[in-house]
Amino acid sequence: MQSWQVSNFEGGHLLLDALALRLPAAPRAFLHQLVRKGRVRYGDRALAADEVVASGTLLTILPSTRLAELVGLCGIPPQTILYEDQHALVIYKPAGLAVHQAVGHDDNLTSRAAHFLDLRRAPYRAAPVHRLDIGTSGPVLFGKGRPATGQYGRLLMAGRISKGYLALVAGEAPTRGELTTPVPEGGVLKPSLTRYRLLSAAGAFCLLELDLLTGRPHQARRQLANAGWPIVGDRRYGGPARPGLEHPFLHCHRLCFPSLDTDELRRVACPLPPPLTEILAATGLNLTMEFAVSAENAADFHDERL
């Protein structure tokens, strides 16, 4: 079953047009057939092709083999578009997928986004405004076209784009605090600041929420290891191994950025994906409702006005 919330970009469109934006590889006739057969639903109600959909509406499409094939051809699964407006596109990046193309990473989020927008016949290219390590999951903000990407880049440098992370670490951390050890960047040690909050603790493990006030490479991983609380699964920095975990337990769960049109702050939430939720449960740690929802469910991806 495919399920997602209608974005700001899709809101106000007829249902068929909104579906075409989210599933650009699907022929129009196929989408019309889905609607005609009552397979596109809002709650228990089947929707009509000429209905206007509002942003925030949760759409569900009943599954079929052909639908699954077309979703695969899109490159970007519909539920992983977390936010979209005229200038911004936020896409969920799973752990193990690089943001940019590099040696050994011909399949990457930027290439997938380019393919998706080519299917839409969009008259612009989208570029990522920031990065996440290949082993880190979470939302990535793309600017639509060079002007938007440039504006977001300046907002990032000015500290107006922020990310919050969840990290499972080994050790006992205080309730809250700051990490201030310098982190190397470009061969030079640079001042770095991370604020943390303890969310849960059990046995030898702690779940921390992190706010990186500076954005150095591997900042959270280095600083947590230096503090004596290496991230579980982070072999590079001495984190303990965990069965079934092939990357650091580090997830970006929140992305905040201003709208280029109104300067209103957008908050995109991205709960823990199921593999990390299962590992967390196996350690005996509990999540609050704010973080406990599965990121594979499209209803869990949403934006909030602050």
We report the CATH number of the domain holding residue 20 as: 3.10.290.10
Residues 286, 184, single domain; the answer is: yes
Domain boundary, last residue among 31, 51, 74:
74
| Domain closes at, from 74, 98, 130 | 74
Q: What is the pLDDT of residue 101?
A: 78
Q: Is residue 91 part of a domain?
A: no
How many structural domains compose the chain?
A: 2
Does some domain include residue 110?
A: no
Whether residue 106 lies inside any domain: the answer is: no
> pLDDT for 231-244, tens place per residue?
999 999 999 999 98
Co-location of 66 and 173 in the same domain: no
Q: Is residue 193 domain-resident?
A: yes
* Residue range 203-236, pLDDT digits in tens: 899 999 999 999 899 999 999 999 999 999 999 9
Give the full edge-to-edge strand order of the sheet including 205-212: 176-179, 194-202, 205-212, 162-170, 250-258, 265-269, 302-305
CATH of the domain at 220: 3.30.2350.10
Q: pLDDT averaged over the chain?
A: 91
Is the pLDDT at 35 greater than 50? The verdict is: yes
Q: Is residue 138 part of a domain?
A: no
The answer on pLDDT for 304 being more than 80 is: no
- What are 144-151's contacts with CB under 8 Å, separation 24+? 144/86, 144/87, 144/88, 144/89, 145/87, 148/87, 148/88, 148/260, 151/87, 151/260
Q: Per the domain annotation, does 211 fall within a domain?
A: yes
Final residue of a structural domain among 55, 74, 93: 74
Q: pTM of the full predicted structure?
A: 0.91
In a shared domain, residues 174 and 65: no
Q: Is the domain of 166 the same as that of 287?
A: yes
**Residues 236 and 139 sit within 8 Å (Cβ to Cβ):** no
pLDDT at position 293 over 50:
no
Helices 28-36 and 65-74 cross at an angle (nearest 10°) of: 140
The boundaries of the domain holding residue 197 are 162-256+266-292
Alpha helices in 143-300 (DSSP H): 145-157, 219-226, 274-282
User: Residue for token digits 């998706």?
Assistant: 116
